[in-house]
Amino acid sequence: MGLGELLLLAVGLSMDAFAVSICKGLAMKKATGKACLTCGVWFGGFQALMPLMGFFLGALFYQAIEAVDHWIAFGLLCIIGLNLLKEALTPGEDGCGEGDADLSVKTMFLMAVATSIDALAVGISLAMVGGVNIYAAVLFIGVCTFCLSAAGVKVGNLFGSRFEKKAQTAGGVILILLGLKILLEHLGVLA
């Protein structure tokens, strides 16, 4: 997996955390540096931890599923991408609920886990694709999510919820396209 693909993957995975960070910023009177840092650390940390866990889980089961690994990677990325698109295209609420400015350990832990479950599945996919330096990948994913989450708090505080749905849509499309690329490469359609 090249640097460009890794960047797309990192951005795609970070869109849920970015959207939640926008909601945090919306609920704040003033987005402080501490609030931006708190969201960045929680979301970036979990977005780095989960693919690492998924990678090692996937590596354990790789031999059993080697013949269909590309289909599994494609399926997982498409499911995650379609879920992001569904959330983005569902009319109604903007996704920001009451009390979104809460930065307590309990709240941030639950939100960080919830926004990084898809990264666990991506980690499994990375184990099946092979040829991925997982440590570089998780560092890249974590740093990208940290930056976007910290910025999301400020964006939400300054501009409102205009970017939340667009971010989720972009993330979903990116993940689906990456899954399709993995499948087409394995089938020999792309070199």
Q: Are 165 and 22 in contact (CB under 8 A)?
A: no
Q: Would the pLDDT of 143 be above 90?
A: yes
DSSP 34-47: HHHHHHHHHHHHHH
pLDDT at 145 over 60: yes
First to last CA, the chain: 13
Asked if residues 168 and 11 have their Cβ atoms less than 8 Å apart, the reply is no
Q: Which residue has the higher pLDDT, 119 or 36?
A: 36
HSE (CB half, 13 Å, CA atoms) of 48? 18
Contact 100, 23 (CB under 8 A): yes
- Decide: 87 and 168 in contact? Cβ < 8 Å: yes
pLDDT for residue 148:
96
* pLDDT tens by residue, 56-91: 988 887 777 767 777 877 887 788 778 778 877 887
Is residue 153 within 8 Å of 31, Cβ to Cβ?
A: yes
Model confidence at 134: pLDDT above 60: yes
Nearest CA to 17 out of 122, 95, 111 is that of 111
Binned at pLDDT 50, 70 and 90, residue 191 comes out as: low
Higher pLDDT, 118 or 53: 53
Select the more confidently predicted residue: 143 or 3.
143
Range name among 54-58, 78-82, 127-131, 167-171 with the lowest pLDDT average: 167-171
Has this prediction a pTM greater than 0.75? Answer: no
pLDDT-based confidence at 160, cuts 50/70/90?
low
Nearest CA-CA partner of 168 in 7, 1, 6, 12: 12
